[in-house]
Amino acid sequence: MDFCEKVLSRAGDVRIIKGEPLSKHTTFRVGGPADYMAFPKDESALAILFEIAKNESLPVTVIGNGSNLIVKDKGIRGLTIVLGEEFSGITVSDYEITASAGELLSKIARTAYQHSLTGLEFASGIPGSLGGGMAMNAGAYGGQLSDVCVSARVFDPETGEIREYAANELELGYRTSMLLKTGRIVTSAKFRLHAGDKEQILKTMEDLNARRREKQPLAYPSAGSTFKRPEGYFAGALIEGANLKGASVGGAQVSTLHAGFIINTGGATAQDILDLIKHVQTVVFEKHGVNLETEVRVLGE
Ligand SMILES: Cc1cc2nc3c(=O)[nH]c(=O)nc-3n(C[C@H](O)[C@H](O)[C@H](O)COP(=O)(O)OP(=O)(O)OC[C@H]3O[C@@H](n4cnc5c(N)ncnc54)[C@H](O)[C@@H]3O)c2cc1C
């Protein structure tokens, strides 16, 4: 029995494919093939996938919506698990929203609005899943998920166990978390919001999204801000100050609209993007003496 057959015999209706290009699953539109890619629907299928991969000594990588990733051109060895639209579910109870890892932050923010709940407006334009959002502690315009998160259910690949973590145990910091550091997987999270004015919630979401459309190069594939904000500076301003707007390597370019974004102008390879990142880091350090650390995560070979 090959790996796919083993998965199908144990985990039933899990979709699993061989050799799927990651470029189809990243907003940068780069990345070579995953040896195997699986799309579980629930926690038990997720646990079975990890167990089978462990028995086969296959490394496992978990991704969400691929909106903060550069996957290298040779792809990802072993099993790539996508917690996406199949891994879904949102419930609302009083002032709390609980959502599964595969739900998009935009949809969760929309659900909050529909229930006149305020607190997640900042997330409505972030193109990530809840799982990736929790791992990155996604945030924008003065808000971040740690402001509203109460708890999360977390799968530990080491032990195969799932348990509920209080928000303070998740070590949610600026674009980081215990999840990123340990490789543990969020399967769902709970947010506590406040009663708000529905019209005002909608207006805030629309205003923030209009600001994105004006300031961000949304017409091109990217992974959002390439670099973290260095303490006391803005990455975009440092890059612009080093005359790097429009700098390019192959199909990768420092956006002329927002220097904090590297975009794929068409046909960029992951290597083009990585080379451009290195170039930007070198020139910014020479010019300003500041180290730019990437916010985007690099995966694969
Ligand atoms: C146009 C654009 C605008 C953006 N604007 C913002 C913004 O304003 N603010 C912001 O914070 N980000 C922004 N981003 C970046 C990105 O959307 C966020 O980082 C988002 O939270 C990533 O979620 P994802 O599901 O796409 O994660 P992925 O990119 O798939 O993964 C990111 C990381 O999370 C890990 N991960 C994924 N799912 C899980 C899980 N269930 N459990 C544990 N770890 C997991 C992955 O292994 C990886 O290390 C933007 C991106 C784009 C393309």
**pLDDT tens per residue, range 278-291:** 999 999 999 999 99
Residue 279: CATH number of its domain = 3.90.78.10
Of 180, 207, 76, 190, the closest CA to residue 130 belongs to 190
HSE, side-chain direction, 13 A CA sphere, residue 168: 0
Q: Which of 68, 69, 174 to mutate to test the pocket of ligand 1 (most atoms within 8 A of CB)?
A: 68
Residue 239, pLDDT score: 98
- β-strands 161-166, 149-156 pairing: antiparallel
- For residues 7 and 109, membership in a common domain is answered with no
Instruction: With respect to residue 210, please indicate whether it lies within any of the assigned structural domains.
Output: no
Q: Which atom of ligand 1 is nearest to the CA of 68?
A: 29
- For residues 252 and 288, membership in a common domain is answered with yes
- For residues 134 and 235, membership in a common domain is answered with no
Residue 73, pLDDT score: 98
> Is the per-residue pLDDT at 236 higher than 90?
yes
> Is the per-residue pLDDT at 2 higher than 90?
no
Residue 261, pLDDT score: 98
Distance of CA 65 to the CA centre of its chain: 6
> What is the domain extent for residue 28?
3-82
State in Å: Cα 31 to ligand 1 middle: 16
Q: Which atom of ligand 1 is nearest to the CA of 179?
A: 43
For the question of whether the overall pTM of this predicted structure is more than 0.95, the answer is yes
Residue 11, pLDDT score: 85
- For residues 69 and 103, membership in a common domain is answered with no
Distance CA 148, CA 123 (A): 11
- For residues 71 and 148, membership in a common domain is answered with no
Distance CA 214, CA 95 (A): 32
Over residues 250-276, the pLDDT tens digits come to: 999 999 999 999 999 999 999 999 999
Residue 78, pLDDT score: 97
Q: Which domain-ending residue is among 82, 105, 124?
A: 82
> Mean of the per-residue pLDDT values for the chain?
97
Over residues 76-106, the pLDDT tens digits come to: 999 999 999 999 999 999 999 999 999 999 9
Residue 149: CATH number of its domain = 3.30.465.10
Asked whether 101 and 64 are in contact (CB, 8 A), the reply is: yes
Q: How many residues does the chain have?
A: 301
* Ligand 1 atom 32: residue of nearest CA: 132
> Is the per-residue pLDDT at 123 higher than 90?
yes
State in Å: Cα 5 to ligand 1 middle: 31
> Is the per-residue pLDDT at 221 higher than 90?
yes
* Ligand 1 atom 45: residue of nearest CA: 132
At 13, the pLDDT band (50, 70, 90 cuts) reads confident
Instruction: With respect to residue 100, please indicate whether it lies within any of the assigned structural domains.
Output: yes
- For residues 190 and 105, membership in a common domain is answered with yes
119 CB within 6 A, ligand 1: no
Distance CA 23, CA 143 (A): 30
Asked whether 74 and 301 are in contact (CB, 8 A), the reply is: yes
> Is the per-residue pLDDT at 75 higher than 90?
yes
- For residues 154 and 78, membership in a common domain is answered with no
* Ligand 1 atom 12: residue of nearest CA: 138
% of the chain with per-residue pLDDT over 90: 96
Over residues 145-158, the pLDDT tens digits come to: 999 999 999 999 99
Residue 43, pLDDT score: 96
Residue 32: CATH number of its domain = 3.30.43.10
Over residues 151-180, the pLDDT tens digits come to: 999 999 999 999 999 999 999 999 999 999
> Is the per-residue pLDDT at 57 higher than 90?
yes
